[in-house]
């Protein structure tokens, strides 16, 4: 019979006691045993906990029934809207759930008084920039070409974005929203150089905060264009610069082949992104040549998607950000909505339940109009910060040429 490690850990001090010669005075218990006994819950505390747990579970079950029905209705309305759009039928207010999601207001889950139950759950560590770079070295024997200064990367991004059709307003304001207006090319979500001990909360990095899955998907779908641009630059170069670009082209070609080794679906790309070789692709967001192309394409695909669906109006930066955050199809649903509908349609219509419940901004600003307004407000505020001003200046220099 196998004994759990925690059981062995408890038994070791007792075994040591059994081997100790008996003394006149009763020996003191080892600290670990003494602490465990001191923390042991009383029968009354355990009974109280079990009673409160039953109350919580009953209230939660009632809430889950209501919430399940609500989110089922959200999904059904979304299917109806998608079918109408495919058939060229106008979407109306009746095609949205107009009530806000139910809110749980019952008792909180009680704390188990027994020490063993209070052990924190282990969380899967989130890879950081150093992990992405190490993976690139391991799998492709290559490290991204980093900029000498942050201004160099901003100028490279401005050149790429302008050449591919993004406007200054779109690029600068999305950067302001995603990075707080002062992010570097290697900024990762949750990490801050000014907050020692901060932790990554996702794999999102760069000016547009691309996730690992974004990088894999963009390599698969836009790799041909990235290779074309790099090849054109190599043809215009010579000497050491040309040799460096040709080596980079070889690495990117292998990465594109890896990204295309699975079906072109988000779920398939996500599986690749969760591997160390997927991390290696993500490292290229930091490359001064490839990074701006990946990030520009992330936004440009949304602009082109809207045009292909017949939406000819220029996307505002806030509208582009909605498509960036929620996905092109869902974002376009908000973008094409008339103003009078935006004021009453809950933001919950555009999220999966799990994503909505993790998004305090969408919960607080709970209609389409409010969500777009707060996005614009943050863009306005953050656009005055040094990083955003530097990026705007890079676009202005290009416009003067």
Q: Would the pTM count as exceeding 0.85?
A: no
Question: Per-residue pLDDT tens for 137-166?
Answer: 999 999 999 999 999 999 999 999 999 999
pLDDT interval class at 265 (50, 70, 90) = very high
In percent, the amount of the chain with pLDDT more than 70 equals 88
pLDDT interval class at 16 (50, 70, 90) = very low
Host H or E run for residue 2: none
Does residue 129 surpass a pLDDT of 60?
A: yes
pLDDT value at position 15? 31
What is the token pair recorded at 271?
């599986």
pLDDT value at position 67? 96
End-to-end CA distance of the chain: 78
Nearest Cα residue to 269 out of 329, 200, 223: 223
Question: Per-residue pLDDT tens for 65-101?
Answer: 999 999 999 999 999 999 998 898 999 999 999 999 9
> Who has greater pLDDT, 341 or 13?
341
Does residue 363 surpass a pLDDT of 60?
A: yes
pLDDT interval class at 118 (50, 70, 90) = low
Which residue has 């993790």 as its token pair? 358
pLDDT value at position 85? 87
Measured CA distances, 176 to 206, 337, 378, 389 (Å): 12, 25, 8, 10
b/e code 110-120 from CB counts within 10 Å (16+ = b): eeebeeeeeee
Does residue 61 surpass a pLDDT of 60?
A: yes
Mean pLDDT of 323-343: 90
Q: What is the DSSP string of 280-344?
A: HHHGGGGSTTHHHHHHHHHHHHHHHHHHHTT--SPPPHHHHHHHHHH-HHHHHHHHTS-HHHHTT
pLDDT interval class at 27 (50, 70, 90) = very low
Domain ranges in the chain are: 43-118, 129-400
**86: phi then psi, degrees, rounded to nearest 5:** -60, -35
Question: Per-residue pLDDT tens for 205-246?
Answer: 999 999 999 999 999 999 999 999 999 999 999 999 999 999
pLDDT value at position 197? 84
Lowest mean pLDDT among 182-186, 210-214, 306-310, 393-397: 306-310
Mean pLDDT of 300-312: 91
pLDDT interval class at 124 (50, 70, 90) = confident
Does residue 397 surpass a pLDDT of 50?
A: yes
pLDDT interval class at 310 (50, 70, 90) = confident
- Neighbouring residues of 9: CB distance < 8 A, sequence distance ≥ 6: 32
- What's the mean per-residue pLDDT of the chain? 88
Mean pLDDT of 338-362: 93
CATH architecture of the domain formed by 129-400: Orthogonal Bundle (1.10)
Is residue 77 within 8 A of residue 84, CB to CB? The reply is no
Mean pLDDT of 274-282: 97
């Amino acid at each position: 019979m196998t004994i759990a490690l925690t059981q062995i850990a408890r038994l070791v001090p007792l075994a040591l006691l059994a081997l100790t010669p008996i003394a006149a005075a009763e020996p003191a218990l080892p600290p670990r045993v003494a602490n465990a006994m001191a923390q042991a819950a009383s029968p009354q505390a355990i009974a109280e906990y079990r009673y409160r747990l039953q109350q919580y579970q009953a209230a939660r079950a009632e809430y889950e029934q209501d919430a399940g029905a609500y989110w089922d209705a959200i999904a059904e309305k979304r299917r109806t809207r998608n079918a109408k759009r495919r058939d060229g039928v106008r979407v109306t207010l009746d095609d949205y759930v107009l009530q806000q999601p139910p809110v749980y207001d019952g008792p909180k889950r009680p704390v188990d008084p027994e020490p063993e139950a209070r052990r924190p759950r282990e969380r899967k560590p989130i890879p950081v920039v150093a992990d992405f770079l190490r993976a690139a070295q391991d799998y492709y024997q290559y490290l991204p070409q980093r900029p000498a200064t942050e201004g160099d990367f901003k100028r490279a991004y401005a050149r790429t974005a302008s050449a591919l059709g993004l406007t200054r307003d779109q690029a600068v304001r999305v950067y302001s929203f995603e990075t707080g207006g002062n992010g570097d090319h290697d900024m990762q979500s949750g990490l801050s150089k000014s907050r020692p001990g901060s932790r990554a909360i996702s794999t999102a990095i760069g000016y547009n905060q691309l996730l690992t899955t974004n990088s894999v998907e963009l390599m698969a779908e836009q790799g041909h264009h990235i290779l074309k641009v790099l090849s054109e630059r190599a043809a215009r170069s010579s000497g050491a610069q040309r040799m460096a670009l040709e080596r980079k082209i070889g690495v990117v070609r292998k990465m594109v082949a890896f990204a295309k080794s699975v079906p072109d679906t988000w779920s398939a790309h996500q599986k690749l992104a969760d591997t160390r070789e997927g991390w290696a692709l993500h490292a290229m967001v930091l490359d001064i040549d490839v990074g701006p192309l990946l990030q520009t394409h992330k936004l440009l695909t949304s602009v082109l998607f809207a045009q292909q669906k017949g939406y000819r109006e220029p996307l505002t930066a806030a509208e582009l950000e909605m498509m960036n955050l929620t996905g092109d199809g869902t974002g376009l649903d908000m973008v094409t909505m008339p103003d009078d509908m935006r004021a009453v349609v809950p933001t919950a219509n555009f999220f999966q339940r799990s994503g909505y419940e993790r998004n305090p901004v969408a919960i607080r600003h709970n209609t389409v109009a409010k969500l777009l307004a707060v996005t614009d407000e943050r863009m306005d505020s953050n656009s005055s910060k040094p990083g955003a001003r530097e990026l705007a200046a890079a676009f202005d220099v290009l416009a003067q040429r």
